[in-house]
């Protein structure tokens, strides 16, 4: 008698996509944030307190799985932990507002000194504590997604976005030097998150067409990301997160060595699949403001099906959720994805 295989865990389901093996149901993740006001109220863990409290951060991250059914938990809700630890003045936001940079501390790249106690600084330690707490709670049941801010976005934070973009033309060697000295930050933080229990890492580095050209990306950031990915390749899968239009640099993202790309809804997924082929998994593309925040359940279902039909392998919203997204639309993402068949790659699931 042949025994039916038990249902896969959420973690198994997600990692199967990265391992190019079979999975029983289409997995649903968010590489950025699933925090909404409703989950804050239900868990008692609220913005902005969660950004600096590991227990609260873990509780709110866990709501993505416990309340809505996501196959992952993602405790780093913003992109400001590193900046806060490295001297930026931060407005931590409010209940429905994400943090923002108020003041950047660096004028020159050689002003930067990597703190010896970086991993012990409160914004950094908070996330590591949250990952450890989530690992203790979920073990091998749920995929834990960590996050780091890449050197390009970190340079925006520490030096100023307008300054950096202007210097790509006026002082290119200065930009190269900023990326060189700042690359050690995400590398150290990434390894610490994997050691704390993260299964997957989101690499947030915002170099889209509305900020810099593909030529500038290839010149400044591509070699740095290639070196970083080579360093991390044995630690776990890495997802590049990059908002906005990216069609002219998708091939470069694949060359950088990322395992997956978190794609914005402003991009054509079918064209993206044609460009990256089997080199990168695609996740995302479900529109946040029009579909998840202001759309109906039927709109969500249609968006999920369109994403899957066009080549998305890991279902997810396109970015961090707006805080007022209704929970019914999050649950519909799961319901719509679960109505689709899993993948029969490799050995049969049973």
* 79 CA to centre of own chain: 10
Q: How far is the C-alpha of 23 from the C-alpha of 46, rounded, in Å?
A: 34
Q: How far is the C-alpha of 148 from the C-alpha of 91, rounded, in Å?
A: 19
Tokens 């080199």 found at:
279
Mean per-residue pLDDT, 164-177: 98
Strand order in the sheet with 238-241: 72-73, 143-149, 200-204, 238-241, 260-263, 281-284
Q: Which of 48-57, 143-152, 210-219 has the lowest mean pLDDT?
A: 210-219
Mean pLDDT of the chain: 96
Peptide bond into 156 cis (omega under 30): no
> Quick one: pLDDT at residue 344?
53
H/E segment holding residue 258: none
pLDDT digit string, tens, across residues 183-230: 999 999 999 999 999 999 999 999 989 889 999 999 999 999 999 999
Q: How far is the C-alpha of 322 from the C-alpha of 306, rounded, in Å?
A: 21
H/E segment holding residue 329: helix 327-338
Write the DSSP string, 53-115.
Answer: -HHHHHHHHHHHHHTT--SEE----SS-HHHHHTT-EEE--BTTB--EEEE---SSGGG----
> Quick one: pLDDT at residue 129?
99
Mean per-residue pLDDT, 144-154: 99
Mean per-residue pLDDT, 98-107: 97
* 157: its two tokens: 């934070």
> Quick one: pLDDT at residue 347?
37
H/E segment holding residue 110: none
Structure confidence at residue 316 as a pLDDT band (50, 70, 90): very high
Q: How far is the C-alpha of 327 from the C-alpha of 281, rounded, in Å?
A: 27
Instruction: Give the domain ranges of the chain.
Output: 10-341
Look up the CATH number of domain 10-341: 3.20.20.210
> Quick one: pLDDT at residue 62?
99
Q: How far is the C-alpha of 61 from the C-alpha of 131, rounded, in Å?
A: 10
Determine what percent of the chain is predicted with pLDDT higher than 70. 97
Other Cβ atoms within 10 Å of 95 Cβ, number: 13
DSSP state of 6: P
pLDDT digit string, tens, across residues 250-300: 999 999 999 999 999 999 999 999 999 999 999 999 999 999 999 999 999
> Quick one: pLDDT at residue 73?
99
Measuring CA to CA, how many Å separate 212 from each of 229, 255, 266?
21, 18, 17
Q: Where are the alpha helices (DSSP H) in 197-319?
A: 214-216, 222-232, 250-256, 269-276, 297-309
pLDDT digit string, tens, across residues 59-68: 999 999 999 9
Structure confidence at residue 345 as a pLDDT band (50, 70, 90): low
* 245: its two tokens: 């239009």
> Quick one: pLDDT at residue 164?
97
Q: How far is the C-alpha of 101 from the C-alpha of 340, rounded, in Å?
A: 41
H/E segment holding residue 145: strand 143-149
Name the residue among 314, 320, 327, 337 with its Cα closest to residue 34. Answer: 320
Other Cβ atoms within 10 Å of 218 Cβ, number: 15
Mean per-residue pLDDT, 7-25: 97
> Quick one: pLDDT at residue 1?
33
């Amino acid at each position: 008698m042949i025994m039916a295989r038990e249902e896969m865990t959420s973690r198994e389901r997600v990692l199967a996509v990265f391992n190019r093996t079979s999975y029983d149901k289409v997995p649903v993740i968010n590489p950025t944030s699933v925090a909404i006001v409703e989950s804050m109220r239900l868990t008692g863990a609220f913005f902005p307190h969660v950004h600096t409290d590991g227990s609260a951060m873990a509780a709110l991250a866990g709501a993505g799985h416990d309340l809505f059914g996501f196959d992952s938990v993602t405790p780093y809700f913003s992109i400001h932990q590193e900046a806060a630890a490295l001297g930026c003045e931060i407005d931590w936001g409010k209940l429905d507002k994400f943090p923002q940079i108020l003041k950047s501390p660096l004028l020159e790249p050689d002003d930067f000194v990597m703190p010896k106690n970086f991993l012990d600084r409160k914004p950094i330690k908070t996330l590591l504590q949250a990952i450890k707490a989530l690992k203790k709670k979920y073990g091998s049941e749920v995929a834990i997604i960590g996050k780091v801010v890449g050197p390009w976005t970190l340079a925006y934070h520490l030096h100023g976005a307008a300054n950096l973009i202007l210097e790509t033309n006026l002082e290119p060697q200065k930009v190269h030097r900023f990326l060189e000295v700042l690359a050690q930050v995400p590398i150290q933080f990434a390894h610490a998150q994997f050691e704390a229990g993260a299964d997957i890492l989101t690499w947030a580095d915002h170099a889209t067409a509305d900020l810099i050209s593909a030529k500038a990306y290839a010149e400044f950031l591509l070699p740095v990301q290639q070196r970083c990915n080579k360093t991390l390749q044995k630690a776990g899968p890495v997802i590049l997160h990059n908002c906005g239009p990216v069609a002219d640099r998708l091939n470069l993202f694949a060359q950088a060595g990322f395992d997956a790309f978190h794609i914005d809804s402003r991009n054509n997924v079918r064209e993206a699949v044609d460009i990256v082929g089997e080199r990168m998994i695609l996740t995302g593309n479900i529109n946040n403001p029009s579909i998840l925040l202001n759309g109906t359940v039927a709109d969500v279902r249609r968006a999920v099906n369109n994403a899957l039909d066009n080549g998305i392998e890991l279902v997810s919203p396109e970015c961090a959720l707006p805080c007022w997204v209704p929970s019914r639309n999050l649950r519909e993402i799961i319901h719509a994805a679960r109505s689709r068949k899993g993948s029969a790659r490799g050995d049969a699931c049973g």
